[in-house]
Amino acid sequence: MKKFTKESLKSYSGKNGAPVYIAANGKVYDATNSFLWQKGKHMADHHAGQDLSPALKRAPHTAELLERLPLIGLLDEEK
Amino acid sequence: MARVAREMVQNAGVDVDQLVELLVKNAAAELTTFYYYTILRANLIGLEGEGVKQIAETARIEDRNHFEALVPRIYELGGELPKDMKEFHDMSACPPAILPDNPRDVKAILKVLVEAERCAVRGYSHICNLTAGKDHRTYELCLAILNEEIEHESWFSEFLGEGPSGHFLRLGETSPFVGKFFK
Ligand code: HEM
């Protein structure tokens, strides 16, 4: 499975037509086709291309909803 | 815009622009749901479907009422609805409640309905959490909407047989919680 760093994830922010990748709990998901992640933004507050694990703790849902998206890689949380 | 009302919310520590964006997104979810539920309702036919039609209709009307109730609060807080309805559709806080591929599959329609309500329950719970003790008017409005959304979720979930039923169909007028915000 593809490995991402926090740095390499930044180019998948959904801006200027880039793919929309989001990371949480060490996993990277492809949200490009998600209605709720259009242009890399979710619920007025969350931006793609980064590790959103802390923000997920405040969300009205668990990581279970991320399983709706294709899992495409793992995040190396050290780098 | 209600300048002082907005100032009070801001001073209480709420990010008002973000709150307004969420309110607009949820208003979009309500109006688009009203539209998509019209199609779902029209397809609830036959022995199985007709039994579900009335709750789908009540939820549809109440979702439209939620849209009506949210709009004044959006403008009070300095927000506005997009001029372009296509943009409004696409910014919805919930995905479109699209008719299943097999429109005669009543269970599949019920699943679309219950998922739409679950999305709404999540959205309004979040707005209530953001505004509790800070923006009293938005809180009370979203709590009223949340009460109705939870009932909708329960109706559809109980029709799907997910657990014992604690609810009856709406008796009396629609929107018993939200009515005071748009009458
Ligand atoms: C304040 C924070 C958040 C709010 C209010 C929020 C709200 C929502 C809502 C209402 C839904 C639809 C749920 C449903 O269909 O029942 C949703 C879906 C989703 N959320 Fe969030 N969320 C938040 C934070 C996050 C974060 C931080 C992530 C990522 C780590 C995330 C990832 C997702 C995903 C992947 C979906 C499913 C998308 C799909 O089905 O295409 N959310 N969220």
Q: B13-182 adopts what CATH topology?
A: Ferritin (1.20.1260)
Residue B92: per-residue pLDDT? 98
- Provide ipTM, 2 decimals: 0.94
For each of the domains in chain A, give its residue range(s) and CATH number, in order of start. 2-75 (3.10.120.10)
CB B129: neighbour CB atoms within 10 A? 12
B 69-108 → A contacts, CB under 8 A: 90-96
Give Rg (Cα) of chain B: 17
Given a cut of 70, the residues of chain B with pLDDT beneath it are none
Residue A10: per-residue pLDDT? 97
| Ligand 1 pocket residue status of B15, Cβ below 6 Å | no
pTM (2 d.p.): 0.97
Q: How far is the CA of B117 from the centre of ligand 1 (A)?
A: 14
* A71 touches B at CB < 8 Å: no
One digit per residue, the tens of pLDDT, for chain A of length 79 reads: 899 999 999 999 999 999 999 999 999 999 999 999 999 999 999 999 999 999 999 999 999 999 999 999 999 976 5
CA quadruple B82, A15, B92, B14: dihedral positive or negative?
negative
Q: How far is the CA of B75 from the centre of ligand 1 (A)?
A: 26
* B22 touches A at CB < 8 Å: yes
Amino acid at A54: P
A76's enclosing H/E stretch is: strand A71-76
Q: Minimal Cα–Cα distance from B95 to chain A, Å?
A: 6
Q: How far is the CA of A62 from the centre of ligand 1 (A)?
A: 8
Residue A79: per-residue pLDDT? 57
What is the rounded distance in angstroms from the CA atom of residue B68 to the CA atom of residue B49? 28
What is the rounded distance in angstroms from the CA atom of residue B20 to the CA atom of residue B141? 14
Residue A77: per-residue pLDDT? 74
Identity of the residue in A36, A38, A60 whose CB atom sits nearest the CB atom of B126: A60
